[in-house]
Amino acid sequence: MRDHRRSRRPAALLVATALAFGTVACGAGSGSAGSDDPNTLEVWTRSNPDPAATYERVFAAFTGKTGIKIDYQPVINFDQQLQSRASTKDLPDVMINDTALMGSYQSQGLLKPIDPASIRGGDEITEKTWASTVGIDGKHYGIPYSRQAQTLMIRKDWLGKLGFKAPTTWQEMLSVAKAFATKDPDGDGKADTYGMVVPGSAQNGYAAWWGASFLWQGGAEIIAPDGNDTYRPAMASTAAVHTVTWMKDNLFCGDNGVTQPGALTAVTSTATNFQDGNAGMYLTGPYNIATFDQTLGKDKYEVIPAPAGPAGGDVLADGENIYFGARTGKTAQERALAAFLISPEGQRLAMTGENQPVVRIPVNSTLNAAKVHGDARWSVVQRAYEDASEQFPNAPDFAPIKQDTADALNAIFTYCGGDVRSQLKELDETLAGDLKDQDLLK
Amino acid sequence: MTATVTTPVARRLPRKKTVVPWLFLAPGLLLALVFKFWPMAKGIWLSFFDVRPFLGDQWIGLDNYTRVLTDHRFQDAIGHTLVLGLGQSLGAILLGFVLALLLEGQARSLKIIRTAVFLPAVTATAVVGELWRLMYYPTSDGLLNSGLHLLGLGPVQFLDNPNLALYSTMAMGIWIWAPYNMVIILAGLAGVDRSLYEAAAMDGVSLWQRLRYVTLPAIRPALGIVLTLAAIRGLRVFTEVYVLTGGGPAGSTEVWMTRAYTLGFTRNDIGGASAASVVLLCVTLLLTVTVNYFRKRGDAR
C-alpha cells in the first residue's frame, strides 16, 4: 500500500505539469483573432436589446459607407465587463458610455487622448459641449455623442381632473404630489396612487443621480472647484443642509404617498410606477419618452421643465461620449467611425426609427432635436439642456464620489430621526477622503 | 493472478494503474485549473497590488488588507453577514428537516409535492428576487401585506424598514435553500432502519423521543453534509442580497460580498475587492475545517 501511494505522486505531478503546459499553450494560441483584423472595429455600448437595435442600424450604415466592419457588443453590465477586459489588457476599440465615467476611465489609463481637430466634423460640436470631455490634465478624452437633461414627466389627465396647473416651483410640485396621492386621480375609489417616482436606492449611485437636480436647484454642489485643478467637498454647506432637509421632510418622511412605496430600494428598472399608471410624476431622462408613449400613451402625460427650487431650475445633464480604448492601434478607423457618428446623417439615424433613440439631444449643432424626432416635446429637453442644466464634474474620477453621496442620501432619507447637518458633515469628510485619494484636494 | 507471474510484471502493473485514473481525471482537472485555481491564485496575487492594468500595477503589500479591515462599512458588513449567514443556514436546515419528515414516503402524491417544493432550489435567484419583491410589496397590493390587511394589520415595509430588511432577506434565503437541504436529509431518512421505528413504537416512546433517539442519530451523516455546505456558503451570501435590496436601505443589508462587489466594480478598486475576497476565503476555509473536525470527532465517538 505504501509503495503504491508513493508511485502515485510522480504520476500526479506529471499530469499536473502536462495540464499546466497545455493551458499555457492554449492561452498563447487562441488570441482574439477577430479583433486583430485592422478593418474590423470592436464597439461596445451600454444598451438593452431595444436601443441596441438602433445602434445596429447606425453601424450598418457606417459599414455600407466606409467598408469598415463593426463587431458590435451591446453590454448591460458595462463596467464589470470592462474591468475584466482591462485585466487582459485588450480593450474594445470604441466604447460609447456615460459622460460621468470619463474621469474614472482616464484615471485608470483606459482611454486614448483625442484632438478635437482630428475628428472630421468636430467643429460642428459647440465649445460648451466639447468642454465636457476635458480630463484632469487638460486633454480631451472623449468625443461628445449624445446629450440630455432631466425633465419632469407628469400626468396631464390627472392634472386636468384635479384642477391643477403644471407645477413650476417645489411648493407647487409638492401640492400636486399630495393631491395625486390623496384625491384619487384615477377614479377607482382606492388610495392606490402616488405623487412621484423616485429611484432612491444607493445601488450604482442612483440616489445621487436622481437627487442631483434637487441639489442644483437648492443651490448646493457635491464638490466644487477650488482653484488650480483642485476640488473641495461642498455637501456641508448651508444650501446643501437646507436642500437635503427639505427633501427628507417633504418627500420621504412627510405624508405617506408623496413618493412611491419602496422608493428607497428602487433602481430605475424597478421604479416602474409611472409607466404602470399609479404614480403621477417622474423627474427623469428623456430616453423614457419612447417607453412611456408605448405603455402609458402619448395623450396621458406631458414633458415639462423641472419645477424650480430656491436657487433656480437647473437639472442634471448627462449623456454619452465616444471613447477610444487605449493601445488598440486602429486610430484611423476609430476616427472615421467617430466622424460618422457625430455627422448629421449619423446623429439623425440614431434619433429616429422604431426603437428607442440612442441620441437624445444631438451634439451636432446643425440639428434641432424636436425637428429630427418630429416631436415638439424634445424642444423642452433641448432648452433644459442648453439653458438650465449642470453636469457632474467630468475631470475627477466621479464614481466613488457619486457612490458615497448616494449612500449618505439614502441613509438620511431612511432614518427620519437622524440629524441632517451632522450626517452631511460626515459625508463631507468622506468626500474629502475620495478627493485626497485622487490628489485633487488642495 | 497465479503464483507463476514474474516480479517485474507485478511491479509494472501498479504504475500503469496509477496513471490511468489521472488521465481520466485530466479533463475535470484541466477545467478546474483554468476556471478555478488559476483565477483564485490571480485574485490572491492582485490583493497585494494597487491594480491599474493600463498604468502598471503597483505593489503595496498589505495596504489593501488594512484598508478593508479598518473600513467601518466592512465592519458593519461583518455583523450583517454573520446574522444573515447563520440565520439563513440554520433556518434552512431546520425547515429542510421538517419538510423532509413531512414529505418522506413512496406515495405518488408525495413525489409530486416533493418536486414542487424543490422548485425554489432550481429557479434562478434573480427570478426568485423579483418574485419576493412582489410578495414584499409595501402596500396592501403586495401578497404578504394583503394577507396582513385581512387580519387588520400592516402594511409592513418589509424591505424599506432598515430594522427589518435583513430579516426579510433571510426569509427569502431560507425559502431558497431549505428544499436543497430537504433532499439531502430525505436521502438520509431513506437509509434509516425501519425495524428501529417498530422497536421504538413497541417500547411506547413519544414522538419527540423517537426523533431525538432514533431519527437524528440515524441521519447524522446527512446532517454533516448539510452543515458543511452551510459553512461553505453561509458567509459568502451575495446573490440573495444583490437581487432583493442591493445592500440598502441605508446599508442595512450590506454583507461582506456586496461590499467587495461595490469596491471592485463601482469604485474600480480591484485590489481592495481581491483583498476582501481573500479574507472571506480564509474565514470560510477555517469554518469548513472546524465543522469537519467536529463532525469527524463526533463520528469517532
**Chain B residue nearest residue A398, CA to CA:** B267
Per-residue pLDDT, A35: 52
Residue A243 C-alpha cell reads as 436642500
Residues of B with CB under 8 A from a CB of A: 14-15, 18-19, 22-23, 25-26, 29-30, 33-34, 38, 51-55, 133, 137-139, 141, 157, 159-160, 162, 165, 245-252, 262, 264-268, 270
Res A301 pLDDT > 80: yes
**pLDDT tens for each residue of A330-342:** 999 999 999 999 9
Per-residue pLDDT, B186: 93
**Chain B residue nearest residue A262, CA to CA:** B160
Radius of gyration of chain B (CA): 25
pLDDT band, very low/low/confident/very high, at A14 (cuts 50, 70, 90): very low
Residue A428 C-alpha cell reads as 463631507
Contact list, B53 vs chain A (CB under 8 Å)? 86-87, 89, 108-109
CB within 8 Å: B268 and A201: no
**pLDDT tens for each residue of A36-75:** 678 899 999 999 898 999 999 999 999 999 999 999 999 9
CA-to-CA distance for A233 and A51, rounded, in angstroms? 36
Residue A124 C-alpha cell reads as 460642428
Task: Label residues B167-199 b or e (16+ Cβ within 10 Å = b).
Answer: ebbbbbbbbbbbbbbbbbbbebbeebeeeeeee
Closest partner CB to A399 (pick from B18, B139, B266): B266
What does each C-alpha distance from A376 to A370, A380, A387 come to in angstroms? 5, 8, 17
DSSP class of A101: G
Res B2 pLDDT > 50: no
**What percent of chain A stands above pLDDT 70?**
92
Where do we find the cell 431513506? B190
Within 8 A by CB and 6+ apart from B67, the residues are B272, B275
CB within 8 Å: A108 and B15: no
My answer on whether omega of the bond before B8 falls inside 30° of 0, hence cis, is no
Task: Label residues A44-54 b or e (16+ Cβ within 10 Å = b).
Answer: bbbbeeebbbb
CB within 8 Å: A83 and B270: yes
Phi/psi at A391 (5° precision): -100, 165
CATH number at residue B293: 1.10.3720.10
Domains A36-149+318-391 and A151-316+395-437 share a fold: yes
Per-residue pLDDT, A159: 96
- Assess A109–B contact: CB distance below 8 Å, yes or no: yes
- Assess A16–B contact: CB distance below 8 Å, yes or no: yes
Cβ(A246)–Cβ(A170) below 8 Å: yes
3-class DSSP string for B174-218: HHHHHHHHHHHHHHHHHCCCHHHHHHHHHCCCCHHHHHHHHHHHH
Within 8 A by CB and 6+ apart from B262, the residues are A403, B247
CA atoms within 13 A on the CB side of B58: 9
Whether B2 is in a domain gets the answer no
Per-residue pLDDT, B13: 55
Helix, strand, coil % in chain B, rounded to nearest 5? 75, 0, 25
pLDDT band, very low/low/confident/very high, at B155 (cuts 50, 70, 90): confident
Q: Which amino acid is at B217?
A: P
Contact list, A411 vs chain B (CB under 8 Å)? 249-251
**pLDDT tens for each residue of B143-152:** 999 999 899 8
CA-to-CA distance for B285 and A372, rounded, in angstroms? 61
Contact list, A109 vs chain B (CB under 8 Å)? 52-55
Phi/psi at A251 (5° precision): -95, -35
CA-to-CA distance for B250 and B253, rounded, in angstroms? 8
Cβ(A179)–Cβ(A164) below 8 Å: yes
Domain residues for the domain of B126 are: 63-300
What does each C-alpha distance from B170 to A219, B127, B157 come to in angstroms? 42, 16, 15
Q: Which amino acid is at B195?
A: S
* DSSP per-residue letters across A383-415: HHHHHSEEEPPSSS-HHHHHHHHHHHHHHHHH-
Phi/psi at B261 (5° precision): -65, -45
Burial label for B161, CB within 10 Å (0-12, 13-18, 19+), is middle
**pLDDT tens for each residue of B46-57:** 999 988 888 888
Where do we find the cell 434562478? B124
Kind of pairing between the strands at A223-225 and A231-233? antiparallel
Per-residue pLDDT, A383: 93
Report, at the CATH architecture level, how domain A36-149+318-391 is classified: 3-Layer(aba) Sandwich (3.40)
CB within 8 Å: A11 and B264: no
Per-residue pLDDT, A36: 66
Per-residue pLDDT, A6: 45
B232 closest CA partner among B288, B277, B177: B288
Per-residue pLDDT, A229: 83
Per-residue pLDDT, A19: 44
Closest partner CB to B54 (pick from A7, A205, A326): A326
Q: Which amino acid is at B279?
A: V
DSSP class of A307: P
CA-to-CA distance for B62 and B272, rounded, in angstroms? 10
The count of CB pairs under 8 A between chains A and B is 125
Q: Where are the domains of chain A?
A: 36-149+318-391, 151-316+395-437
CB within 8 Å: B265 and A205: no
Task: Label residues A148-159 b or e (16+ Cβ within 10 Å = b).
Answer: bbbbbbbbbbbb
Phi/psi at A413 (5° precision): -75, -25
Question: Mean per-residue pLDDT for A290-305?
Answer: 93
ipTM, interface predicted TM-score of the complex: 0.75
Cβ(B26)–Cβ(A19) below 8 Å: yes
CA-to-CA distance for B115 and B177, rounded, in angstroms? 14
- Assess A227–B contact: CB distance below 8 Å, yes or no: no
Residue A378 C-alpha cell reads as 424634445
Whether B11 is in a domain gets the answer no
- Distance (Å) from the alpha carbon of A99 to chain B's nearest alpha carbon: 15
A362 closest CA partner among A387, A376, A375, A345: A345
Question: Mean per-residue pLDDT for B153-171?
Answer: 90
CB within 8 Å: A11 and B22: yes
Phi/psi at A145 (5° precision): -125, -45
CB within 8 Å: A19 and B33: yes
Where do we find the cell 478555478? B36
- Assess A245–B contact: CB distance below 8 Å, yes or no: no
pLDDT band, very low/low/confident/very high, at B121 (cuts 50, 70, 90): confident
Res B138 pLDDT > 50: yes
CB within 8 Å: A415 and B30: no
pLDDT band, very low/low/confident/very high, at B192 (cuts 50, 70, 90): confident
Q: Which amino acid is at B263?
A: L
Per-residue pLDDT, A304: 96
Report which of residues B15 and A70 the model is more confident about.
A70
Whether B177 is in a domain gets the answer yes
Per-residue pLDDT, B201: 87
Model pTM score: 0.82
Within 8 A by CB and 6+ apart from B214, the residues are B192, B196, B197, B200
Q: Any idea which of A169-178, A433-442, B290-299 has the lowest mean pLDDT? A: B290-299
Mutation for B interface: A264, A269, A403, A405, most B CBs within 10 A: A264
CA-to-CA distance for A51 and A32, rounded, in angstroms? 27
CB within 8 Å: B34 and A400: no
CA-to-CA distance for A305 and A368, rounded, in angstroms? 18
Residue A141 C-alpha cell reads as 478624452
CB within 8 Å: A108 and B38: no
Res A401 pLDDT > 90: yes
**pLDDT tens for each residue of A242-266:** 999 999 999 999 877 899 988 998 9
**pLDDT tens for each residue of A97-108:** 999 899 989 988
Cβ(B279)–Cβ(B216) below 8 Å: no
CA-to-CA distance for A195 and A176, rounded, in angstroms? 7
* DSSP per-residue letters across A218-265: TT--SEEE-STT-EEE-TTSHHHHHHHHHHIIIIISSSTTSB-TTGGG
Residue B201 C-alpha cell reads as 413504537
Within 8 A by CB and 6+ apart from A437, the residues are A400
**What percent of chain A stands above pLDDT 90?**
70
Res A378 pLDDT > 90: yes
Q: How many domains does chain B have?
A: 1
Cβ(A309)–Cβ(A240) below 8 Å: no
Note the CATH number of domain A151-316+395-437.
Answer: 3.40.190.10
Per-residue pLDDT, A28: 36
